Structure formats: structure tokens, C-alpha cells
Amino acid sequence: MSTAAIIPAAGFGVRLGGEAPKAFREVGGESLLVHAVRGLRAATAADLTCFVIAVPPGSEDVVLKLLEPYVGTATLQVVAGGTERTDSVRAALDLVPTEGIDCILVHDAARSFVPVAVIERVVAAVRSGAPAVVPVVPVTDTIKRVDPVGKVVDTPDRSALVAVQTPQGFEPSLLRRAHAAEGLGATDDAMLCERLGVTVQTVEGSEDAFKVTRPRDLILAESILAERRSS
Ligand SMILES: Nc1ccn([C@@H]2O[C@H](COP(=O)(O)OP(=O)(O)OP(=O)(O)O)[C@@H](O)[C@H]2O)c(=O)n1
Ligand SMILES: C[C@](O)(CO)[C@H](O)COP(=O)(O)O
């Protein structure tokens, strides 16, 4: 049995700004997408045999050529993404083989520097029987719920809150069932499983699995990469 990786990489990255879609922005001379693929490949215990990447429509051929040198013996397919992240994941999921895969990872191209240990923890938890697994880190700010006019409604107990990262790992038939249902408003794939009543398991994430979202995140990404290259 082996793992398939879906990488949603079709977002523009409005919050990051710039001329090119976010997944093509470079850190240390290589695109965020290449870093993400290389990171997943480094997780040897995950037994990754299949990559499906959702990209901005029109860039499929360019991305196929760009990534071929990085996937080793794994298969590589590239598909046009959709309007929302969920649409992009769904388009990619349609191309994942239905045989021989016991875990599907969904991993944001924008979380390009996730450590190998996190990826392997997620896959191990799925293989141990958890149908849906997400890596998480503690919340460090006090979080408040606010009403539409900005007034505080309440302050949830922070010890019960976590921030969720990717890769998220799924038992394949569950992920297919989850995406067959209405995806409106879902900001991650685990949420679609929760809507089916499935219990989602958490594992320890990492600060390095942060999502490149705003311009300053590129500086953090450069510094993580420089640290890794020098060690
Ligand atoms: N229609 C979309 C939107 C997002 N994504 C991907 O989902 C991941 C997480 O999304 P985010 O980082 O929020 O990216 P964007 O939606 O591009 O960012 P923004 O909201 O700033 O435009 C990214 O790898 C992004 O490329 C996608 O494949 N298809
Ligand atoms: C999937 C995700 O990265 C988990 O934190 C996140 O929900 C993506 O959300 P975004 O609004 O597309 O950044």
C-alpha cells in the first residue's frame, strides 16, 4: 500500500501580492511548489507513489515540466484548479487511483517547509486506523469571537484551541465521500469529514509548517531555508 499526495496550488495569493500566482513565487531560487514537492518526497516512510497537483488554469503543461525532475519514481498529474481551495482539491482527487492507495495527503503548496516528521506522523496515524488526521500547533494569541459590528461576544478557552496545518491525511474512501458532499464554506478537508460526523484525529504539527500568506512570510521562509541549507 502507498500514499497519494494532492497539492492544491491554484490560488493566486492575493494577500501575498505580486505578479505571479503564489505557488510560483521563489524562495532560495526555487518555487514554493517545488519546495512543497521536495518536502513530501523526503518523507520516505510515507511511501508516496502518486502526486496530483491543482494549478492555475493554463499552467498545467509548464508545471508538469517543472516538477518532473522532482517526483522520482512517483506518478505526476497536473490538473486545473477551481475557484475555491475545495474545488481544486476535488478536481485533483478525481485523478487519484482508486486501487493500491491506503492514505491520501492533502497539502498546501503554500506550506512549503513542513518538516518530514510531521508528514510521517500524519501518515502513521492514518495507517493506525484514524480516518482523518490533521497536524496542529497551539494557539498563542487570545482568541475572541466578535459580532458583525466588531463587538466581542466571548473569549473561548484557549487551552481547547489549536491552529490547523497541512498535510492532512485521509482514508481514501472517506475523503471521496467528504468531497462528494456540498463543500460550501469549507476551509480545509477535515471540515468536510467533520460534517459527515467523522472524528478527526490531531497530531503534533510544527511552526515550520506555517502557510506563506503575507509578504513578511517570505522572509521567514528564506530564513528557514538558509538554516536548513547550513545544517
Ligand atoms: N482556488 C484555490 C485557492 C487556493 N488554493 C491553494 O490552497 C492553498 C491554501 O490557500 P491560501 O494559502 O490561502 O492561498 P490563496 O487562496 O492563493 O491565498 P489568498 O487568499 O491570499 O489569495 C494554497 O496552496 C493555494 O494555492 C487552490 O489550490 N485553489
Ligand atoms: C487548509 C489550511 O491551510 C488549514 O489551516 C487553511 O484552512 C487554508 O485556508 P485559506 O483560507 O485557503 O488560507
Model pLDDT for residues 27-71, shown as the tens digit of each residue = 999 999 999 999 999 999 999 999 999 999 999 999 999 999 999
Predicted ipTM of the assembly: 0.98
The finding on whether 166 has its CB within 6 A of some atom of ligand 2 is yes
3-state SS class at 117? helix
Atom of ligand 1 nearest to the CA of 89: 28
How far is residue 103's CA from residue 5's CA, in Å, rounded to a whole number?
9
Pairing status of strand 101-106 against strand 168-170: antiparallel
Could you give the CA distance from residue 112 to residue 120 in angstroms, rounded to a whole number?
15
For residue 106, give the ligand 2 atom closest to its CA: 1
- Look at strands 75-80 and 48-55 and give their pairing: parallel
Domain boundaries, the chain: 2-230
Q: Is residue 85 in contact with ligand 1, taking CB distance under 6 Å?
A: yes
Q: What is the pLDDT of residue 231?
A: 86
Pocket test for ligand 2, best of 32, 84, 85 (most atoms within 8 A of CB): 85
Tell whether pTM > 0.90.
yes
The CB of 189 under 6 Å from ligand 2? The reply is: no
Distance 230 CA to ligand 2 centre (A): 30
**pLDDT under 70 in the chain at which residues?**
none
Q: For ligand 2, is residue 211 a contact (CB within 6 Å)?
A: yes
Task: Return d(Cα 193, Cα 199) in angstroms, integer.
Answer: 8
Task: Report how far residue 35's alpha carbon sits from residue 29's, in angstroms, rounded to the nearest whole number.
Answer: 10
If we measure between CA atoms, which residue out of 160, 189, 158 comes closest to residue 92? Answer: 189
Distance 214 CA to ligand 2 centre (A): 13
Q: Which ligand is nearest to the CA of 110?
A: 1
Cβ 228 under 6 angstroms from ligand 1: no
Q: What atom in ligand 1 is closest to the CA of residue 36?
A: 24
Domain 2-230, CATH among 1.20.58.100, 3.40.190.10, 3.30.390.50, 3.90.550.10: 3.90.550.10
